[in-house]
Amino acid sequence: MSDSLKQRIQADMKSAMKNKEKKLLLTIRTILAAIKQIEVDERVELDDTRVLAVLDKMVKQRRESIKQFTEGGRDELAAVEQAEIEIIQTYLPEALSDDEITQIIKDAIAESGAASMKEMGKVMGIVKPKVQGRADMGSISGVIKGLLG
């Protein structure tokens, strides 16, 4: 069986240490700290699905920060966050195309029988595990609203 995502990240950390890649190492350590925090808090070993959720959340947080830094005229800080996003994204699966996202959502709507905005939660419940780490959940909910609205 292939290495887990967490093992791959740990191996990359060792490689970054050997090659003295400071920025890469810092970001990888941040990723591993976030994973470890959840594992300690919940007393569990995270599987790839949970690790993807952690990475997805980290990208989302950095996008928020970039927005705030850019609005505040702090482009150098926004650039640091963008560099971190690029590193984190190397561990995420390939992003889904808009057509793939729309198809997944249409299938989920059909599967759940949702007919109105009140049932958006049902659709999200089906869609989320299929797109985790491969699409921005904010844009996903926008598409669902568009199709149900």
**What pLDDT tens digit does each residue of the chain (149 aa) get?**
357 899 999 999 999 999 999 999 999 999 999 999 999 999 999 998 889 889 989 999 999 999 999 999 999 999 999 999 999 999 988 888 889 999 999 999 999 988 888 888 899 999 988 887 788 888 888 888 888 88
Is the Cβ–Cβ distance between 102 and 127 less than 8 Å?
no
Angle CA(52)–CA(130)–CA(123) in degrees, nearest 5? 125
CA neighbor of 31 nearest in space, from 49, 13, 16: 13
The first and second tokens of residue 72, run together, are 């505040």
Query: Is CATH 4.10.1240.10 what the domain over 98-148 is classified as, yes or no?
Result: no
For the entire predicted model, the pTM comes to 0.76
Instruction: Give the domain ranges of the chain.
Output: 5-89, 98-148
Write the CATH number of the domain with boundaries 5-89.
Answer: 1.10.1510.10
